[in-house]
Structure 1
Amino acid sequence: MLIAASTIKDTVQHVRRFVRGNLGGGIDHLVVFLDQPRAPGQDEVADFLDREPHVTCVRAGRGWWGEHRPVGLNERQCTNAGLVSHLLADVPEVRWVFHVDGDEVVRIDPDVLAAVPEDVGAVRLAPREAVSKAVWEREPTLFKRLLGEADLQALHQRGAISAPTNQALFHGHLQGKVGVRPSRDLWLGLHKAITAEGTQAVTHADERLELFHYESYSGEEFARKWGAMTTSGPRVSLRAGRSAVADAVREVLEGEGSPEARHERLLALFEETTQDDAEALVDLGVVLEADPTSGTHVPQPLSADARSTLQRRLDEARGSDRSAYFRGTSPQGGPGAAPARDGGRRRSPRDAVRRLLGRAT
């Protein structure tokens, strides 16, 4: 049985996609922590999750953390995921626990997972990132994958990316996410599993273990997601190029003008820093066409004993100091990462926001 732990604050529409996609893609049960359960729209999200038989919803507000709420979103995410993995370490029917975000959907080949050597305690999901377009009339169905040097050079020569690197191609993380065999000797980070000695655990990787990431796939989604992320507390852990985007978004949100004017600036910032050249990606044949929400997996229900154990242990953890379940987030960068270079089609995020605010010369 596969479990996924997530810490989210999102719209009910996106949460429906998240639940449908992950349960269809191979997950049997979701443990969802609502990061700000009193925020607007979250009652509707909680009501939806409570009605789902394959979901355990935890309202992770003040009562959940007590006096021990981590300030940073990344730390809250990793703490919650690590807690779930450790709470299920002695539940035999649970074979794997994954850490995924609310804008991610897994697609896991069960035969590949079953063939992972018993002495390997962690697996890595290969990232697939939604192509960013000004507007998607429906849910995204084109996804980028990590590319080799020849494809990256072709995209760069066409002006579709600012440098021939996967870091220039992807807007979100390049590392994918991980799952672990639940154990009290392994901790789940953002993009890695961590051993009791504090080192990164060896992970088994296979292209048939996939993670579809709905990262800033449209102008409206860019404005919603980055606006929420930059106001969630201290800066989340981001690689260098995207930290500049977060700073630019924050500058727009804290700037002068009406809400409508700021929103238009965010859409313009999206166009200059994030929107993909979808035509070039399709023409060069470097994207996958898929509907991650159409998986055919039939989730298996947790046994009554396992569900009771999980709920009881979550209740016992409420309000306690759970810092022991956090062993760090993730290193910067990732496979294929390289320092971003100026030039090409996209402008520097910081230069773009200055131009949009009328500060450029």
Structure 2
Amino acid sequence: MICTVSTIKDSVANVTRFVEGNLAAGADHLFVFAEGGDRDVLTRLEEHPHVTVVDADAMSRRVAQPDNLNTRQTINANRINWLLADLDSAEWLFHLDGDEILDIDKGRLLALGPDVETVRLLPKESVSSSEPGYGGYFKRLLSNEELALLTLFGVIDEAFNSVYFHGHVSGKVGLRPSRRHGVHIHDVSLIGQEGSTEDFRADWLHLLHYDSVSPEEYLRKWTVNSAGTPHNFRGRRKLIHAAMSGLVKNEQIDEAEKRDYMLEIYRREIEDDAPSLQKFGLLETVEPRHHSPGSFTRQESDAITAVLPRLLEAEPRYFQPRRTEYDPAELMTTIHAGASSRHPR
């Protein structure tokens, strides 16, 4: 079994793409913490046999959760990591955002030896364009020579992948579920230790990142981001976030003007010069996958049903791997004792 864990606040259409895309690409079961209280999104997820959904808003009313999104994502990922550590069929867990889809060779992944405990998925980013015809194209990370070419021709401002990509360039990680390891946004660490573990990389391990595929999606995403809780943006994205947030909060500008300004930011900062990228042969398409997902055993499903609610009720700081004052082993012993007494096996 290959599983994913995500914290999502998105539209029904995007959530559907996320679920169907990841299951087709090799995932067997998705754990989704759904924020935003959208009943249609929750219903779509609850009805799917290969999805376990947590109503994150209801959870936060029972146990206070951190304001910072990245911190909540880390906590949620480790709840599922430690849940799956006891299940024999859960071989890999990937921590993904709601706009990311696996692009992997599942056979090769499952053939890796037990000495490989973490892998890295390098990103392919969707082209962002207002022009028709580029919806299925992706950008890969470029070599120094390719970046230099684009810079000299004025396609990008500086010869860095961090400038060429609008989203992250470090990718995401997968790990064999383990209570020795803690999951973060872009890496894995040993519990209670600083630094990251070494990860395995290959040309058949990627993810597809649908960052801002169109002006409409850009407006939807950044309006949500600007009005929502704090993010750990850096560099140019931090500047864009501040500008968008200022526009959203500006009561002196009407909604039509705000939209015009936001679209101008999109044209200046986000939209790719897709014709030039295609001319230089730098765009890729991805072959569709048709994976048939597997299922947990009945015993494993019962264990998830028994243990997951206890994990959701626990103090969130247990699931921040670098907080050495909270012992996850002690927590899990207590949780399993309680689950066993309530759900005899």
TM-score for both structures, normalised by structure 1 = 0.85
Is residue 203 from structure 1 mapped to residue 199 from structure 2 by the alignment? yes
Question: Which of the numbers 273, 294, 297 marks the counterpart of 2:291?
Answer: 297
1:199 positional shift: 2.3
Encode CA deviations 1:66-113: one digit per residue, 9 max, x unaligned: 343111011111110111011110111100111001101102202321
Partner of residue 145, structure 2: 150
Q: How many residues align?
A: 320
CA shift at 1:131, angstroms? 0.7
User: Does the C-alpha gap of structure 1 residues 240 and 33 become closer, same or farther in structure 2, counting only changes over 3 Å?
Assistant: same
Partner of 1:353 in structure 2?
A: none
Alignment of 1:82-93 (within 5 A): 82-93=78-89
User: Larger relative CO (CA 8 A, sep 6+): 1 or 2?
Assistant: 1
CA-atom RMSD, angstroms?
A: 1.6
Superposition deviation, residue 315 in structure 1: 1.2
Residue 130 of structure 1 is matched in structure 2 by: 126
Instruction: Indicate the residue corresponding to 2:210 in structure 1.
Output: 214
> Partners of 2:12 and 2:22 in 1: how far apart?
15
Structure 2 partner of 1:28: 28
Name 2:237's counterpart in structure 1: 242
Q: 1:319 aligns with which of 295, 300, 313?
A: 313
Q: Hey, what's the Cα distance between the residues in 1 that align with 2:131 and 2:299? A: 46
Q: What whole-Å deviation, never above 9, does each CA across 1:205-249 have from its counterpart, x for those lacking one? A: 112111000001211111111111122212x11231211111111
Partner of 1:251: 246
Residue of 256, 263, 268 corresponding to 2:264: 268
1:311 Cα deviation from its structure 2 partner? 2.3
1:159 aligns with 2:175: no
Distance 1:312 1:140 in 2: 42
- CA apart distance, 1:136: 5.1
Q: Would the aligned equivalents of 2:248 and 2:258 in 1 still touch at CA under 8 Å?
A: yes
Give me the whole-angstrom Cα distance separating, in 2, the residues matched to 1:64 and 1:312: 20
Letter matched to residue 25 of structure 1: A
CA distance in 2: counterparts of 1:307 and 1:322, whole angstroms: 23
Inter-CA distance 65–323: structure 2 relative to 1 (3 Å threshold): farther
| Kept in 2: contact 1:31–1:57 (CA 8 A) | yes
| Partner Cα separation in structure 1 for residue 196 and residue 126 of structure 2 | 28
**Closer, same or farther: CA 65–119 of 1 in aligned 2, 3 Å:** farther
Contact 2:189/2:195 (8 A) holds in 1: yes
Q: Distance in 2 between matches of 1:192 and 1:65?
A: 29
- Helix, strand or coil: the match of 2:204? strand
Pairing 1:10-89 to 2, within 5 Å after superposition: 10-37=10-37, 42-64=38-60, 66-89=62-85
Query: How far 1:64 moved relative to its partner?
Result: 4.4
Query: What code does the residue aligned with 2:35 have?
Result: D
Contact 1:130 1:214 in 2 (8 A): yes
Preserved contact between residue 137 and residue 285 of structure 2 (Cα < 8 Å): yes
> What SS does the corresponding residue of 2:202 show, helix, strand or coil?
strand
TM-score with structure 2 setting the length? 0.89
Task: For 2:300 and 2:28, locate their aligned partners in 1 and report how far apart those are by CA, in whole Å.
Answer: 13
Deviations 1:311-338 (A, max 9, x none): 221111233212121237xxxxxxxxxx
Q: Counterparts of 1:228 and 1:249 in 2: how far apart (Å)? A: 10
CA contact (8 A) 1:226 1:249 kept: yes
Of residues 102, 107, 113 in structure 1, which corresponds to 2:109? 113
